[in-house]
Chains A and B, each alone.
Chain A
């Protein structure tokens, strides 16, 4: 009778006694290989070409300890699937937690309990072998397409066999797929996925390799034969919607043209997906190429994100003030605080570059607080210089309003700098109100009760109903600059603006027109009764020191 080869276990432990004892415990059922420290264990792994079913690892060892060893094998694809059980002292969780978080599969405590060790070893080995089996499954059960792993191998093979042909990788995902599962149920979600799979197979039949990666991510590789057009992907989307009996599926497609075949297939797919993700939120845009421009933009964005924390600590953000004037007597009546980033390497950065990123990653709340603090400091300074201060408007982002502590944060600042709340105007964009009106209205009401002035920014860009406007806690409307700047000037446009201005009078609200750049625009605003203006026609945003000169000149300085 043939004897089945025993599974091999690597025991890594520096102490002779402990190691020998472990070996005694394991010997009846396994082939045991010993190592005295992490470095020796790596040598054994190489010597046996990773042919171990399991590693039993001590954590505290000289030369190379257990954590270093774990890190080393997790980095090596040849060894990273070998499960590791860590042997720990039975004294507190920290060692065990640390080991598990470094990728250990389980732990056993000293003093050893042979039966427990044998059972854990057996069940971890079983688990890993089963998982490995599942990973080998080549096809996705739901859609019948290749699994990701299998897809990558197929693509590699095809590229190897056809060195002269050119290929594209196309990946897609669905905008808000989780929402579809949530709203319409898992079976409906599955129907959508099957429809997408069908779309992929039918459109690439005989010429491509298709895969369902996971969730809503699909990929295929086809020979590069044509340039792609929006209409192709728009049609595919419509077809998927009709087959799966939905209307709400929006798909974004990314294309990676394979040029450098040394890049791992998985990375090629990641790049195609990055291109797809990059057009999320762009209506009527269905596909995008991954190209150098996108790559360098993503890298630049990453650099911004990497340096933002340091920039805040290092006071690289500077506030600029843009004056607001009253038309009838050209009096300066306020200022809007805007932020500039004086980057030590890249120079002055426009907010258009970094604000959208910070809004995405949440850093905007920190930057806003920073700006509020600086604006309050400026107001305090004006008090002390004996300048007659004008109120400063600061931006309050959507994310800030959702913070329940917002009133407290602002009041703390007001107290810190001994200021009346009314000298700080809070600009909240109109579209924030339409998102979650009840909650926003409650928060903003609270801020008004505390004495802050509320300005509704970009009015006319969102979709507030007139009825809503009546309920909204607002003191001043800021007319969206697109109204002011719209070209050509039409009678209807002018009448809409007149209507809004009349409305503000009726509701006893202040009104400020933004983005005024020409004398004609100013004239038109004056004609319809708009009181205050802000824009390049009068003054650009400027550093605080420069603003102070304007403040003095405007006849309001000195008391």
Chain B
């Protein structure tokens, strides 16, 4: 098993499907992973929730879900799915901040994952 694959699996991501999406090209995956961290959807989700704009929040969460899915970031993806389903009905709820925190936590884990991948790639 390559270092890349090991790190991917340890993180809990769907390595084989995700890499199939990038034609098995690790460099290309990393390039897209960098784009993922430039993506503003998460920021938009937080902002919209703060402003109480559930429609925008849903749109942002929806996008975030698509992006995370494409990157094979399974734990992050699953955290986003929860809030997408709640926001779909645009029903005001008290648990949005908690759900957002959970995504935030997964965001940091994904960042760690990226660092490890980059380090692993160098070694």
Q: Give A residues with C-beta under 8 Å from B.
A: 14-18, 20-21, 24-25, 60, 62, 89-91, 110-114
Contacts and interface: CB of A to CB of B under 8 A. Distances in A.
Interface stretch (B2-10, B67-75, B91-99, B102-110): B67-75
A553 B81 CA distance: 78
B63 A14 contact: yes
Contacts of A90: 69
Given A60-B59, A112-B21, A114-B23, A18 B70 contact: yes
B62 A89 contact: yes
A92 B8 CA distance: 28
A41 to B, nearest CB: 17
A112 B62 CA distance: 15
Contact of A60 (B20, B35, B62): B62
The 4 A-B pairs with the shortest beta carbon distances in the complex, nearest first, are A111-B69, A110-B66, A17-B35, A111-B70
Nearest to A58: B66
Contacts, number: 62
A15 B68 CA distance: 12
Contact of A20 (B18, B32, B66, B72): B32
Contacts of A112: 21, 70
A21 B70 contact: yes
B54 interface: no
A111 B19 CA distance: 12
A427 B38 CA distance: 77
A200 to B, nearest CB: 56
Contacts of B23: 24, 114
Contacts of A21: 21-22, 32, 70
Contact of A16 (B17, B39, B71, B72): B39
B28 interface: yes
Nearest to B68: A111
B28 A24 contact: yes
Interface of B: 17-18, 20-23, 28, 32, 35-36, 38-39, 41, 59, 62-63, 65-67, 69-72, 81, 84-85
A112 B84 CA distance: 19
Contacts of B22: 21, 24
B62 A114 contact: no
A89 B65 contact: yes
Contact of A15 (B17, B66, B85): B66
A372 to B, nearest CB: 42
B59 A16 contact: no
A445 to B, nearest CB: 52
A36 to B, nearest CB: 13
Contact of B72 (A17, A24, A111, A114): A111
A27 to B, nearest CB: 11
A20 B38 CA distance: 14
B67 A15 contact: yes
A15 B28 contact: no
A114 B20 contact: yes
Contacts of A110: 65-66, 69-70
Given A14-B63, A91-B84, A112-B70, 18 more contacts: A15-B67, A17-B32, A17-B35, A17-B36, A17-B71, A18-B63, A20-B32, A24-B23, A24-B28, A25-B21, A60-B59, A89-B62, A89-B65, A89-B66, A89-B69, A91-B85, A111-B17, A113-B21
B17 to A, nearest CB: 8
A15 B84 contact: no
A16 B35 contact: yes
A108 to B, nearest CB: 12
Contact of A62 (B20, B38, B59, B84): B59
A91 to B, nearest CB: 7
Contacts of B35: 16-17, 20
A110 B41 CA distance: 16
